[in-house]
Every structure is written in structure tokens, then in C-alpha cells.
A and B are shown apart, each in its own frame.
Chain A
Amino acid sequence: MLWLQVFVNGLAVGGLYACIAVGFSLVWGVLSVINILHGSLIVLGGYLAFFAHQQWGINPLLFAPVAGAVLFVLGAGVQGLVINHVMARPFLITLLLTFGLNLFLDNSMLALFSADYRKVLLDPPLGVFDLGAIVVPADRIYATVIGLILIGLLALLLRTTQLGRAIIAVRMDRDAAALLGIDVRRTYAIAFGLGAFMAGCAGALLSVIFPISPVASAGYLGKAFVICVLGGLGSIPGAVLGGFALGIIESFGALFLGPEHAMTLAFLLLILLLAVRPSGLLGKRGFA
């Protein structure tokens, strides 16, 4: 019974991990940008949800797409106005740029919202699903389901729409895409915006579960790295799989090695994976 509960715990947090990582993975895949800003965008999404709940009583789980939309605009703006200027440069340059933006955004949020931890309190609380032998917190299930639906819609958008095809074309060959008449800069802006959209959604979904603070951003970013490497970089299904895998491994790591070593098992596996299959579980081998 303990095992089953531990497994379910892992699944429940794994869904949240998937939401954290998808936007990062998308930006990586399409723009070749290592987006250091990602963790801060998640936190900003959390604040938007918190204030929307405080001011207008909107449930953050339903507010997630709105928080995402706001961040889409912000993300597309940042890409269009700032990052696009250096897209032709080595990726190190874009990484430093997002590092600088991350310092700025984190410090701005600290100045604006203070570092006090806040959390959205739903009234009435969503409670738990009591399945007799095991219990599952309802908010995590809802957050995971909503997150997965949004991820699914994103995948659908990339596969089936004109815009999605443009994004994939730019991802595969920027110059050829430009020749085909695709506005590359605009496509970059939209793709980065979509990454920010997912970060905003993740932040809003997490706001009912974890405390919100500017100082949490580095933790989310670190998780995103690990999940993406685990699942396969640049791949959306990879990020989802990586999220669930990390959640479950951590959960059992805490059981077998003690809570203090929860991450150890996951990291040892990650090192092993880097050695034998560096492209991640679902990544394309040798894609460089």
C-alpha cells in the first residue's frame, strides 16, 4: 500500500514537472535558445494568478490560460524586441541575454512583490480523492489534467496549423523557411511567446500547490534542465515523459534512500543516461 501511495505521489508531482519543463523544451527546440529566463516566467505566472485570485476571486486553475496569454505577449515582445537582434549569433550570446533578463526580472519581482512567500488559498479547498488505500490531492490532479490538455493543444497547434508548420519549418531550416516566404523573426517571436505561455500556465497551476516567491525561480529552472535532459531535449513528449519519470524516481528515491536523498537516485540515473544516451529518453540520437 505504501508503494502504491508513493507511486501515486510521484505521478501527481510528475504532471506538475511536465508543465514546468514543456515551455523550456519548446524554446530550446525551435529557437536553439537556452532560456535562463524560464524559471522567472513561471514565478511571474504564479504572481498573476495570485493577484487575480486576490482581486477578483478567479480560480488559478481556470486562470492559467489567461496568465499564459499575458506571458505570451511579454515573451513575444522580449523575443521580438530584444532577443531577435542576436539570433544570428552563437547560442552563448542568447543564453547570456536571457541570463541578464533573468537577473533583471527576478530582482524586479523582488522589489515589486517582496520576497514574502504567498500562496493561493482556494475556498472551499478542492480536497482529496480518497480511494481507500490511497489518497490523491485533487488540486494536483486538476492541475496535471489542465496542464496536459494545454500541452496537447500546443502539440496540436504545432502539427496542424499553418503557424505550427511555419514554426517547424523555421526549426528545421531557417534559411529555407525564409525562402518559402515565412517571416522568420515573427515566427521566432511567436515560438518564444508560446514557451512563455506554457511557463505562465505552469506558474498559475503551481500557485495553488507551492508557495510563490521570486527566490523560487532558480529551483524551477534547475528542474526544467534536468527534466529536459532526462526526457530528450527539444521534444514535447520528451518533456512530459521526463517530468513523470523524475517525479516517480524522486518519490521512490525518498522511500528507498530516505527523504534526504530523494534527488540522489534521480541524479545518478541522469549521469548514467548522459553517459549511455545523452540525447535523453526520447531525444534524437546525435542530433547536433
Chain B
Amino acid sequence: MKLGIRPLLAGLVLAAAGSTSSFAQDKLLIGAPLPVTGALSPEGTKLKQGYELWQDQVNAAGGIKVGDQQLKVELRYYDYQSATPRAIQLAEKLITDDKVNFLFSPFGSGATKATSAVAEKYGVPMIASSASSVEVFDQGYKNLFGVYTDNSTFSEPIAELVKTKLPDAKRVAILARNDLYPLSLANEFEKSAKKRGLEVVFFEKYAIGTLDHASALTQLRATNPDWIIVTGYINDLITVRKQAADLRISGSVFTLINGPAYQEWIDAVGPLAENVTTASWFHPVVKYQSDDVFGSSAKFVELFKQKYGSEPDFTQASGAAVGVVLQLAIERAGSTDHDKVRTELQKGGFKTFFGPISFAPSGIANSYVPPVLQIQNGKVEVVVPQEIATSEFRTAPQN
């Protein structure tokens, strides 16, 4: 046994090393580090669904047109186990070893920022599905393009909504997860609130992995706020919403980001979801006509429902969005050359199902208005902008 297993393992690792795929010309290879296991695995699953829907559509249509050639799309996934350093290593491995043509970013602002250094080092354009914090895009990198608009595009319209619909609301309390994106978002909310003359009476952070929020919320309650903003991820916000009710916290407006736009969040908090406001970069009611493989937002939603049996949320949509943006840029460039595709990405003006997408010089999208959402009768309704609103904004959450 002892003698048998070791040479066997040694042989296996050699086989693994040898199985490194060779790069073929008739396909486009895209590297996508995914958090399949670990804390971010819900989001990893969603992104993968988005990628694959796009891949199916492109390949069914014959592939990406590059000059007179058609390239089939092949995605190469590796699990970075929700560990950012692992994502960095994988990005490097995908570039140097798998020799991918382009990269999709890992999930979230933190991992995207860290990985963008690798993409920059090798000059490989990377499309970011889920990074919205300006801190990610302030490094002067030329190869990072994010399909999300920046965090102030959430805080500004919601603050404006509160200001106009609730002129009496004065006191704002903010509780933020001490993590790149949630903290950056919370800072934007603070700015937007102060800009409108509101008083920020509470601003605290909670550590990643906090199980119980009772103490923080007790202190928050003591400041008697009108508008309560909590940033974090879905598990944080499930617990926070429940504990806020347990502590009888009452405020006129509850803004929780990111979580309430996911159906799982609504299922998990039930009636407490009512009237919670949030925002996201995509919602199935948006009505864009597009030049991409989907043709329109409505068609995308329909195809998504066909494949997965549920309406797409913004993370699932962003997975497909990075695909169509890359495809449009390659087709316009008529080449898979990094420099040419990068130039097209910088030019922008892509009409996609996700919205019209152009990038600021920093690489962050700045070309569409993300919808403000409110949960009403257990459903996500759009309350702003007016053109696609499905319902009127309501105040006074049920507690």
C-alpha cells in the first residue's frame, strides 16, 4: 500500500500537468475565476449562469464574428474558493498557462481590484461583472472595464427620493460591513445625505463574519434615525432585517444593499421585506433594445427563464453582460488582438440588453441609470427612474 500509492500519485500529477490544453485558433478562450465554494459560492453560481446563457446563445448563432471567421466561445473556469489571493493566482495561471484570450473578473470589488493588477501586468483586457467601487478603478489601469456604474449612482437617487418624498426626514443612521464595496457604498450614502442637508447621526462598521448584530442595532436605535442604511451581503442583511424588527427599530425608510434585490433574501425575511428600498444595476423590467445576441432586455429575460426557471437578478444578468460587451468589442475590432479590442472597449457605445454601455477613462461604466427598487407585496418593484417605474415609492415599513 505504502509503496504503491506514492508513485501512483506522482504519475497522476504528471498527467495533470500534461493535460494542459493547447490553444486552438477556431475558438475564443475566456478565463473566468469563479467562487464555486466558500463564502461567495451563491454569487459564483449566479455569475456562471449568466456566462453560460451568453455562451449558449453565441455558440448557437455560430460564434463570435472576427473578420470572416467565426470563433466559438469556450469558458475556462477555476474555483478560487472565495479567497482573493487564490483568484489572483488563477488569473495569472489562466493567462500564462491556459493562454486565455480574455478574462472575466472574479466576483466583487475587492477580488476584482486585486486581480486587475495581473491583467494589467500581462496586458489582457478583463471585463468586470461586479465591481462598482471607485477604489477599484482608481489605479490608472488600461485593461479593466466594469459594467456596473459607480456606487454614487445608488446613493444619489435614493437620497433624492428620501429628500423629496419625506421632507421631514432629517436623521440618517448608517451601518456598514467593513469590506471594500459595502464600506465604499456607505461612504457614498453619507456624502449624498449630507449634500442634501440630512444629519448622519450614526455611522458604524461591523466586521466581516459577524453573526449577531443586536448590539450595533441597539446603539443605532438609540440615535432615533428616520432613514436607516445598512450595507453588506445577503446573509448579513437577512440577520440585520430580522434583528431590527426584534429590537422594534422604526424608521421611515430602510435601505439595505446588497440583498433585497435577490429573491432568496425576500424568501428569507418574509413580511419584513415590505417597503425596504434597495437598488441594483439590472432588473427584469428594464426595456433596452440591443445589438447583442439577445436583441433586447425582454428577450434576455425570456431566455433566462427558459434555461433556469426564474427571473434573472442583477448578478446573473451581469454574467451575461460581460459576455456581450466583450463580444461586441471583438466584433467591432474584427480581431482578438488585445490592443485593438481594448481600443474598442475604450470607445464604448455598446447597446446591450443590460443597458447602453460606455466606460469612463477609469474603466467604470457611466452610461446608464440603475433602477431604485422597493419590495412591495413580496415583489421587487422599480420606483425610479420614472420611465420604467412599476410602482410608486412607499414609506413607513411594517414593523
Contacts and interface: CB of A to CB of B under 8 A. Distances in A.
A102 interface: no
Given A130-B248, A135-B246, A260-B207, A117 B218 contact: no
Contacts of B270: 121, 123
Contacts of B205: 258-260
B239 interface: yes
Interface residues of A, number: 42
Interface stretch (B9-17, B34-42, B314-322, B335-343): B34-42
Pick from B205, B216, B234, B265 the residue with the most CB of A within 10 Å. Answer: B216
A222 to B, nearest CB: 9
A117 B234 contact: yes
B204 A213 contact: no
Interface in A238-282: 250-252, 254-255, 258-263
Contact of B215 (A114, A130, A259): A259
A13 B39 contact: no
A6 B238 CA distance: 21
A196 interface: no
A128 interface: yes
A259 to B, nearest CB: 4
Contacts of B212: 9, 13, 250
Given A250-B212, A259-B213, A117 B42 contact: yes
Given A255-B219, A259-B175, A118 B268 contact: yes
A137 B39 contact: no
A112 interface: no
Given A128-B248, A258-B205, A262-B206, A223 B42 contact: no
B61 interface: no
Contact of A223 (B175, B211, B222): B211
Contacts of A210: 211, 239
Contacts of B246: 128, 135, 137, 140
A90 interface: no
Contacts, number: 112
A12 B212 CA distance: 10
A258 B268 contact: no
Contacts of A213: 42, 235
A140 B239 CA distance: 13
Contact of B45 (A114, A128, A250): A114
A2 B207 contact: no
Contacts of B235: 117, 211, 213, 216
Pick from A13, A137, A140, A259 the residue with the most CB of B within 10 Å. Answer: A259
Nearest to B35: A115
A130 B245 CA distance: 12
A115 B45 contact: yes
Nearest to B216: A259
Interface string A1-12: 010011001101
A183 interface: no
Contacts of B267: 118-119, 121
A5 B42 CA distance: 35
Contacts of B175: 259
B303 interface: no
A9 B215 contact: yes
Contact of A255 (B215, B242, B248): B215
A13 B246 CA distance: 13
7 contacts: A12-B214, A118-B267, A119-B242, A121-B270, A210-B239, A254-B215, A259-B205
Interface of B: 37-39, 41-42, 44-45, 82, 175, 178, 204-207, 209-216, 218-219, 222, 234-235, 238-239, 242-243, 246-248, 264-265, 267-271
